Structure 1
């Protein structure tokens, strides 16, 4: 039964890769949809379009300012890899806007890492295999071994420190409110991708 499950997951990943986007292609898609007041995803609303607009700006800002720690950079650059990073995402997702630029920088350090972004709503079967506490939380990174054609790990939807912040706040307040979401954005800005890089370093 286990082998059947692995084969089906691999099949969904291969299907997702066929209709995936490069990082630049994903950004171009988000920008082009915004020109028509739309976001990626099956649901459309003014709020989602506004989130996408904010995220478009965030990604552009991170692309210009983001720097990877030298020690982390060295390990990534010298690792012997043949993997695909398949990331489930949507343009309206705030966490994705902070995470994707870091993944792009890290992937750019090693020719053995191929970054592919797939849209969550267009890849429901794949998403259903990588739920977080039963939910379709994104971004979700799937680390796929190209030679073995199997999943070796997954990560997301948030870096470890941010995940702990979310869990602690939910436990104390019963849910996430606008104030927490603002605090989380400030944390991302101060952290500058360091926790994401450290998390993924452990998964190499």
Structure 2
């Protein structure tokens, strides 16, 4: 696990660099990851527009800002992602905006398919679902916690749809994107901030 984390960090990028890599690939008709297809190019184009919009419009609530600024320790947020992932397009801009608000958090983004050993340690129901946020202690690269690939409301929507229709089709993907649109990043903020507050509580309760 330590080696997988170290390799993940070595191959990781800043949020801005991650976005520039995805954009450059797209300009050449390609996408990030091991698979290439017209559908993935289409999804990546949609995600570029979504992320551009969210980078400008996403707002972190005062309560969440207060809790982030109250963090005592330093942390690395290492996120496994790919440019074609619709969930990542909705979540990464929120995580980036949160990380920019405090010096206690450094956000790094790594491509899932370039970090298979690490991804295998954070499967969701046996699947390599992304984005996956891994919270690390900078001094030791110790894994303190993880979150993802979706906030609970979005996960419940997909679970319910799959139970009803037996598959995740384009209608389900559209409903999921509408859910994110109406949620405005608030669920991601709450769940991730709650995780960070709980991690600090556990860290300092052991001292």
Q: Same fold (TM over 0.5)?
A: yes
Q: Secondary structure at the match of 2:102?
A: coil
| 1:155 alignment counterpart | 147
Instruction: Could you list the structure 1 runs, at least 4 aligned residues long, displaced by more than 6 angstroms after superposition.
Output: none
Query: Partners of 2:152 and 2:96 in 1: how far apart?
Result: 19
For 1:27, the equivalent position in structure 2 comes to: 19
* Aligned equivalent of 1:139, options 128, 131, 144: 131
Q: Unpaired runs of 5+ in structure 2?
A: 197-207
TM-score (norm 1): 0.93
- 2:58 maps to 66
Asked if 1:130 corresponds to 2:122, the answer is yes
Deviations 1:12-38 (A, max 9, x none): 111111111100001101111111011
- The corresponding residue for 1:112 is 104
Deviation at 1:105, TM superposition (A): 0.6
Deviation at 1:148, TM superposition (A): 4.2
Distance across 2 between alignment mates of 1:42 and 1:183: 27
**In the TM superposition, what are the counterparts of 1:184-203 in structure 2 within 5 Å?**
184-203=176-195
Q: Secondary structure at the match of 2:195?
A: coil
Aligned position for 1:97: 89
1:3 aligns with none
Distance in 2 (alpha carbons) for counterparts of 1:99 and 1:78:
22
Alignment RMSD (CA, Å): 1.0
Structure 1 gap segments, 5+ residues each: 1-8
Q: Which residue of 2 aligns with 1:6?
A: none
TM-score by length of 2: 0.92
